[in-house]
């Protein structure tokens, strides 16, 4: 549970005990005053039937009602839903120096940790802005692109250390060049914030800052460290702290170079700010970033908490009503009891007269309850009653269409969804297009006419396209679109096959008819030929025996030729064995290569062992190899 107005909750923590103390004091004060002005023997006769227990109960009800009202004013909330909203903000890239000089502990715990904490603080202040991260030492790379995901930004900053870039040194110009490249596709106001101690080993930082100013990029520098500096300590292989030494064997002392950082910020149309105290990032945002124009960036998912104050407000009203109608006196006789019963009946009758006509009419809440209970026909009937009064309410049309769809009344559902597609609410309009596509598919499914089915499904595809235009991330609309598209293609193929088969049957019939017309005497000739053959068989019954003997002789000759070829070693064609060997070679995998099944198994094993990786850029060649190299 959370409270939208937590300050009222703090006030209630003081008012509620004070109210309880005041009511207790008032009760005791009342009893004291009554005892002073009325004698004790007369007090019993004057307060006949008055119940002190009921008086105390009324005070308790009043106390609880006031407490519930204060809780309602604090607006308690629990439960939430995700809502997509577009935000306006800046595009900010934070470049953090990860060279070994950032291990100096002149500002505790060390310079790098203070830079990371300052980046977290800046992201907390500028919630509507997009953030990115650049890590730089001897070179630079984009650790995190511009994003609205604060958790992703924090994880990227947390991963930074002095070993993330293998090439030592400090190249501020590389960080500025990388930021310019990262901002190429940005249309918002661009800001680069450098967190560094200012020890630049490339001497090109001012030129890069001028280039950034030409690219409409605001550049701010945050100095980390002290002017006095400190000797750098690193850990050796055994984990013991040792001093970092240069090529001559001298211990390296790192100092804050404020002059260079001021020059870079001035050339980049920004300003320099030392990281001192706990309000440095607030000063940077208020003086440098708050006044910059905001551009509309991509949408962002935010939690939309559900209001629950009405429960406490309703409880307060009920408690006040009980306090008002609770009598102080007990029921002393039957006449009084009858009068109270008569009054109660009057009140009950009045309430019935007021609320019974309301119960006779349909309400959206009752229709929704019937829908959730699975009584779709009754829910649809209630929505129809509501539409009779509010014919232009597109939400009622949408709900009626939904209930009709659930009750398999697809024609009726289609009409209601078509009316709901003109809703001014884009979210409701997108849902109406999606459900209209589902309804059209259901209407076309049982249709025996292929052409009408094809037309109905094409209309369903158009409605899915309209839904995806309004919300391209709707996975259900995408899946249904692909499914109906596939079913439509199958239907078209079946129609084409059926049409081609009908055409072939018609062409064959035409050819047979034409052949019969061209050669009308062919059947008679065939009959005469059959008769002659039968007569010849009857005249020469030994002809079949002769034919059979001739076939046996030919088979015997073929066997003799095969035996002679086997003796000579020439069995079969010479190319057959070679072709079989080539086919076997194609089926078997080549040496050193995997089959498709082995490759799939290998990829699945890699996915199971997959871990997030941090990109580390390869070391670059030094610009001036003759100069001594500084690895800090």
- Residue 3: Cβ-neighbour burial (10 angstroms; 0-12, 13-18, 19+): middle
* Mean pLDDT on 357-367: 61
Identify the top-confidence range among 134-143, 180-189, 519-528.
Answer: 134-143
Q: Which stretch of 23-27, 197-201, 271-275, 408-412 has the lowest confidence by average pLDDT?
A: 197-201
Report the interhelical angle of 394-406 vs 376-389 (nearest 10°): 160
pLDDT at 364: 78
- Residue of 195, 224, 209 lying closest to 264 (CA atoms): 209
CATH number at residue 103: 3.40.50.410
Which pair of tokens denotes residue 120? 């977290």
Minimal CA–CA distance to 185: which of 91, 99, 100? 91
Give the pLDDT mean for 601-626. Answer: 53
The DSSP secondary structure of 555-624, one letter per residue, reads: HHHHHHHHHHHHHHT--S-HHHHHHHHHHHHHHSPPTT---HHHHHHHHHHHHHT-------PPPPPPS-
Q: Does a structural domain hold residue 503?
A: no
Do 57 and 95 sit in the same domain of this protein? no
Q: 288 and 390, same structural domain? A: no
Look at residue 321 and tell me if it is in a domain: yes
With respect to residue 605, please indicate whether it lies within any of the assigned structural domains: no
Residue 357 pLDDT class (50, 70, 90 cuts): very low
Q: For 368-387, what is the mean pLDDT?
A: 84
Residue 164 pLDDT more than 60?
Answer: yes
Instruction: Give me the DSSP letters along 71-109.
Output: HHHT-EEEEEEEEEEEEEE-EEEEEEE-SGGGG--SSSS
SS in 3 state form for 365-400?
HHHHHHHHCCCHHHHHHHHHHHHHHCCCCHHHHHHH
- Which of 84-93, 95-104, 108-117, 167-176 has the least mean pLDDT? 84-93
Please report the pLDDT score of residue 594 as a whole number.
60
Looking at the structure of the chain, the number of domains it has is: 3
For the chain, give the percent of residues with pLDDT over 70: 69
Higher pLDDT, 485 or 343: 485
Using the predicted structure, report yes or no on whether residue 14 has a pLDDT greater than 50. yes
Is 2's pLDDT higher than 60?
Answer: yes
Report helix, strand or coil for 627: coil
What is the predicted pLDDT for the residue at 334? Answer: 47
Residue 604: pLDDT band with limits 50, 70, 90: low
How far separated are the first and last CA of the chain, in Å rounded?
A: 50
For residue 575, name the pLDDT band (cuts at 50, 70, 90).
very low
In a shared domain, residues 457 and 431? yes
> What is the model's pLDDT at position 448?
84
User: Is 347 within the bounds of a domain?
Assistant: no
Are both 220 and 200 inside the same structural domain? yes
Q: Is residue 597 part of a domain?
A: no
Q: Closest Cα to residue 96, out of 157, 154, 147, 153?
A: 157
Query: What is the DSSP secondary-structure string of 466-492?
Result: HHHHH-TT-HHHHHHHHHHHHHHHHHH
Three-class DSSP labels, 266-277: HHCCCCEEECCC
Residue of 444, 434, 443 lying closest to 488 (CA atoms): 444
Same domain as 204, residue 325: no
Q: What 3-state DSSP class applies to 249? A: coil
Domain, as residue range, for 61: 2-79+310-329
CA distance 405 to 408: 5
Q: Compute the residue count for the chain.
A: 632
- The answer, yes or no, to whether residue 335 has pLDDT greater than 70, is no
> 287 and 380, same structural domain?
no
For residues 57 and 182, membership in a common domain is answered with no
Which residues, 6+ apart, have CB-to-CB distance to 11 below 8 Å? Answer: 70
Cα distances (Å, whole numbers) of residue 322 to 63, 316, 342, 364: 12, 10, 19, 30
pLDDT category of residue 221 using cuts at 50, 70 and 90? very high
> Residue 379's domain is classified under what CATH number?
1.25.40.10
Indicate whether 576 pLDDT > 60: no
Section 215-228 average pLDDT: 93
Mean pLDDT of 291-313: 75
Looking at residue 78, what is its pLDDT?
80
Residue 515 lies in a domain: no
Say if residue 626 is exposed, middle or buried (CB neighbours under 10 Å; 0-12, 13-18, 19+).
exposed
176 pLDDT above the threshold of 90: yes
Residues 189 and 50 in one domain: no
- How much is the pLDDT for 344? 58
| Domain end position, chosen among 464, 493, 522 | 493
Report the C-alpha gap between 214 and 210 in whole angstroms: 6
Tokens (6 digits) for 80: 């939430």
- Alpha carbon distance 270, 289 (integer Å): 10
**pLDDT one-digit tens code per residue, 256-270:** 999 999 999 999 999
69 or 41, greater pLDDT: 69
For the record, the structure tokens of 171 come out as 């190249």
**Of residues 518 and 94, more confidently modeled:** 94
Q: Flag whether pLDDT at 34 surpasses 80.
A: no
Alpha-carbon dihedral of residues 431, 432, 435, 439, nearest 10 degrees? -170
Is 124 found in the same domain as 60? no
Q: Output the pLDDT for position 553.
A: 59
504 has pLDDT over 70: no
272 with 414, same domain?
Answer: no
Angle at 464 between CA 459 and CA 470, to 5 degrees: 130
| pLDDT exceeds 80 at position 440 | yes
Between 307 and 596, whose confidence is greater?
307
pLDDT at residue 97, as a whole number: 94
pLDDT, residue 94, reads 96
User: How is the beta sheet containing 2-3 ordered, strand by strand?
Assistant: 2-3, 76-89, 295-307
Examine the pLDDT at 8 and tell me if it is beyond 60: yes
Domain ends where: 493, 525, 558? 493
Q: Specify the higher pLDDT residue, 603 or 497.
A: 497
Indicate if the pLDDT at residue 536 is higher than 60.
Answer: no
Would the pLDDT of 629 be above 60? no
pLDDT, one tens digit per residue, over 451-497 is 888 888 888 888 888 888 888 888 888 888 899 888 888 888 888 88
Name the more confident of 62 and 517: 62
HSE, side-chain direction, 13 A CA sphere, residue 614:
19
For the full predicted model, state whether its pTM sits above 0.85.
no
The number of angstroms, rounded, from the C-alpha of 419 to the middle of its chain's C-alpha atoms is 29
**Would you say residue 435 lies in a domain?**
yes
180 and 148 in a common domain: yes
State yes or no: pLDDT of 537 exceeds 60. Answer: no
How far is CA 477 from each of CA 95, 217, 412, 454, rounded to the nearest angstrom? Answer: 41, 41, 22, 19
Q: Which residues are CB-contacts of 499 (< 8 A; sequence separation ≥ 6)?
A: none
Residue 587 has pLDDT above 70, yes or no: no
Instruction: Give the pair of three-digit tokens for residue 44.
Output: 């019993």
Do 373 and 280 belong together in one domain? no
Q: Residue 584 corresponds to which tokens in the numbers above? A: 């076997």
pLDDT over 90, % of the chain: 20
Question: Does 210 fall in a domain?
Answer: yes
Task: Return the exposure string of 496-511: e unless at least 16 CB atoms fall within 10 Å of the residue's CB, then b.
Answer: eeeeeeeeeeeeeeee
Return left, alpha or beta for 251; rule: phi > 0 is left, psi -120 to 50 is alpha, else beta. beta
- Tell me which H or E stretch contains 146: strand 140-147
Tens-digit pLDDT profile for residues 413-434: 888 888 888 888 888 888 888 8
């Amino acid at each position: 549970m959370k409270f939208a107005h937590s300050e009222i909750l703090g006030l209630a923590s003081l008012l509620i005990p004070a109210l309880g103390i005041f009511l207790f004091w008032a009760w005791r004060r009342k009893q004291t005053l009554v005892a002073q002005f009325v004698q004790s023997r007369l007090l019993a006769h004057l307060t006949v039937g008055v119940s002190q227990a009921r008086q105390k109960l009324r005070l308790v009800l009043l106390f609880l009602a006031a407490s519930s009202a204060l809780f309602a004013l604090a607006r308690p909330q629990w439960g939430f839903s995700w809502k997509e909203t577009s935000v306006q903000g800046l595009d900010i890239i934070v470049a953090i120096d990860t060279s070994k000089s950032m291990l100096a502990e002149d500002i505790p715990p060390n310079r790098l940790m203070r830079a990371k904490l300052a980046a977290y603080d800046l992201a907390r202040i500028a919630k509507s802005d997009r953030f990115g991260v650049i890590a730089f030492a001897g070179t630079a790379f984009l650790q995190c692109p511009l994003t609205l995901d604060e958790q992703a930004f924090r994880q990227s900053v947390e991963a930074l250390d002095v070993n993330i870039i293998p090439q030592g040194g400090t190249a501020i110009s590389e960080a500025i060049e990388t930021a310019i490249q990262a901002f190429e596709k940005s249309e918002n106001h661009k800001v680069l914030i450098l967190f560094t101690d200012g020890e630049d080993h490339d001497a090109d930082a001012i030129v890069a800052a001028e280039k950034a100013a030409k690219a409409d990029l605001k550049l701010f520098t945050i100095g980390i460290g002290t002017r006095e500096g400190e000797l750098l300590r690193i850990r050796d292989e055994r984990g013991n702290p040792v001093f970092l030494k240069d090529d001559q064997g001298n211990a390296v002392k790192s100092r804050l170079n404020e002059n260079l950082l001021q020059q870079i910020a001035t050339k980049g149309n920004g300003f320099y700010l030392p990281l001192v105290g706990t309000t440095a990032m607030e000063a940077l945002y208020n003086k440098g970033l708050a006044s910059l124009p905001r551009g509309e960036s991509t949408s962002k998912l935010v939690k939309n908490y559900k209001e629950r104050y009405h429960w406490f407000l309703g409880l307060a009203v009920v408690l006040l009503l009980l306090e008002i109608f609770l009598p102080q006196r007990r029921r002393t006789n039957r006449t009084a009891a009858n009068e109270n019963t008569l009054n109660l009946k009057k009140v009950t009758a009045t309430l019935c007269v007021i609320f019974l006509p309301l119960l006779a009419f349909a309400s959206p809440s009752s229709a929704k309850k019937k829908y959730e209970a699975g009584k779709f026909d009754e829910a649809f009937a209630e929505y129809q009653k509501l539409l009779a009064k509010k014919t232009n309410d597109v939400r009622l049309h949408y709900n009626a269409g939904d209930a009709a769809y659930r009750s398999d009344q697809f024609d009726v559902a289609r009409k209601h969804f078509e009316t709901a597609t003109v809703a001014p609410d884009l979210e409701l309009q997108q849902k109406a297009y999606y459900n209209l596509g589902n309804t059209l598919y259901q209407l076309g499914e049982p249709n025996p006419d292929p052409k009408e089915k094809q037309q109905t499904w094409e209309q369903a595809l158009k409605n899915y396209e309209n839904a995806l235009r309004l919300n391209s991330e709707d996975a259900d609309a995408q899946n249904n679109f692909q499914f109906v598209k596939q079913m439509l293609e199958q239907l078209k193929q079946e129609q084409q096959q059926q049409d081609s088969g009908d055409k072939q049957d018609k062409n064959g019939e035409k050819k047979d008819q034409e052949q019969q017309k061209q050669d009308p005497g062919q059947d008679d000739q065939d009959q005469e030929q059959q008769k002659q053959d039968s007569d010849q068989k009857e005249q020469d019954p030994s002809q079949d025996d002769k034919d059979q003997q001739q076939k046996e002789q030919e088979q015997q000759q073929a066997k003799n030729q095969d035996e002679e070829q086997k003796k000579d070693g020439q069995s079969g064609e010479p190319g057959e064995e070679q072709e079989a060997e080539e086919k076997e070679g194609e089926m078997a995998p080549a040496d050193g290569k995997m089959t498709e099944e082995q490759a799939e198994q290998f990829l699945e094993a890699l996915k199971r062992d997959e871990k997030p990786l941090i990109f580390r850029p390869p070391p670059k060649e030094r610009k001036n190899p003759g100069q001594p190299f500084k690895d800090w």
